[in-house]
């Protein structure tokens, strides 16, 4: 029974049996992993609130013969997710972040940059005055670090470099497409104004430390949100679950 030590973020946690939880983590050392926390739902559980979604913790896990799920034997909370569970808009935005990570990452495939991006994303929510916008910037960055960087320099379908008319974002092609390719896309394209395109390009290119200074409202924000929502749905192969799926109750 080899012991596994990991630093991890709780992506989701669901009830199991009478008193247990099955928890999905994104860990620095092992990538996405799942584990059973025995007795986690008992009132005086040794795990306390460390296994709530969005928490950052240090874990001890071990493998049990004949069981594909790991056993969680010890959890030390590094950063609580209490603040992120204090309002519906924070819960929605944090849920959006962990759901995208859960949907687009395979099991057991560690990626340090992805872990750091998620950790920074959740940390920036703690300071955010506009959680939904922080979650939008996070998704654009996450797509970039996981090899799904939206293509905005040339047609994502045929490679043509010059566009005429209003830019069209194709969720299926993963970026801008020219008008003739847009006409052949199976999933409807989203027309982007020049302002939306410029915003998207900056959100992709800017250093994460300063990208939070970007602002977008009204039409630009609506168009970029629609484009990223459509693209994430294609990359994940499904629409992402809502925050309800995490069975979080608002704390106060």
* Interactions with Zn ion, residue window 51-110 (CB under 5 A): none
Find the shortest distance in angstroms from Cβ 62 to Zn ion: 52
Continuous segment of H or E residues that includes residue 122 = helix 112-127
Interatomic CA distance for residues 91 and 85, integer angstroms: 5
Burial annotation 113-144 (CB, 10 A radius, 16+ → b, else e)? ebbebbbebbebbeebeebebbbbbbbbbbbb
Interatomic CA distance for residues 10 and 40, integer angstroms: 14
Q: Segment near Zn ion (CB under 5 A), from 123-131, 162-170, 180-188, 199-207? A: 180-188
Find the shortest distance in angstroms from Cβ 184 to Zn ion: 9
173 lines the binding site for Zn ion (CB under 5 A): no
* Interactions with Zn ion, residue window 142-171 (CB under 5 A): 155, 157-158, 160
- Identity of the residue, 180 or 242, whose beta carbon is nearer to Zn ion in the bound complex: 180
Find the shortest distance in angstroms from Cβ 174 to Zn ion: 13
- Identity of the residue, 113 or 183, whose beta carbon is nearer to Zn ion in the bound complex: 183
| Cβ burial, residue 11 (10 Å; 0-12/13-18/19+) | buried
Q: At what angle do helices 131-145 and 112-127 cross, to 10 degrees?
A: 170
* Residue 247, both tokens: 């069975």
Cα 9 from chain centroid (whole Å) = 11
- Identity of the residue, 177 or 248, whose beta carbon is nearer to Zn ion in the bound complex: 177
- Identity of the residue, 70 or 181, whose beta carbon is nearer to Zn ion in the bound complex: 181
| Partners of residue 59 on adjacent β-strands | 6, 75
DSSP conformation class of 245? G
How would you classify the pairing of strands 190-191 and 168-170?
Answer: antiparallel
183 lines the binding site for Zn ion (CB under 5 A): no
Find the shortest distance in angstroms from Cβ 182 to Zn ion: 8
Q: Segment near Zn ion (CB under 5 A), from 86-94, 178-186, 204-212, 239-247? A: 178-186
- Identity of the residue, 88 or 158, whose beta carbon is nearer to Zn ion in the bound complex: 158
Task: Report how many residues bind Zn ion under the rule CB under 5 A.
Answer: 6
178 lines the binding site for Zn ion (CB under 5 A): yes
Q: Which residues bind Zn ion (CB under 5 A)?
A: 155, 157-158, 160, 178, 181
């Amino acid at each position: 029974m080899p012991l596994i030590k990991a630093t991890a973020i709780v992506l989701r946690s669901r009830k199991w049996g009478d008193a247990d939880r099955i928890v999905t983590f994104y860990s620095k050392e092992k990538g996405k992993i799942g584990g059973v926390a025995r007795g986690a739902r008992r009132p005086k559980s040794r795990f306390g609130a460390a296994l709530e979604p969005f928490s950052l913790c240090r874990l001890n896990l071990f493998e049990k013969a004949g069981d594909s799920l790991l056993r969680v034997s010890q959890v030390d909370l590094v950063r609580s997710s209490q603040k992120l569970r204090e309002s519906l808009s924070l819960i929605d935005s944090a849920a959006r972040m962990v759901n995208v990570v859960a949907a687009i990452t395979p099991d057991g495939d560690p990626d340090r940059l992805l872990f750091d991006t998620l950790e920074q994303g959740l940390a920036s929510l703690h300071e955010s005055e506009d959680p939904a916008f922080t979650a939008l910037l996070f998704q654009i960055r996450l797509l970039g670090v996981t090899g799904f960087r939206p293509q905005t320099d040339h047609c994502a379908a045929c490679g043509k470099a010059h566009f005429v008319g209003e830019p069209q974002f194709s969720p299926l092609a993963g970026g801008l497409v020219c008008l003739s390719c847009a006409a052949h896309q199976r999933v409807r394209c989203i027309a982007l104004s020049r302002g939306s395109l410029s915003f998207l390009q900056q959100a992709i290119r800017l250093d994460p430390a300063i990208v939070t200074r970007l602002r977008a409202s009204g039409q630009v924000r609506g168009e970029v949100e629609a484009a990223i929502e459509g693209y994430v749905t294609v990359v994940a192969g499904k629409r992402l679950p809502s925050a309800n799926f995490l069975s979080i109750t608002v704390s106060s």
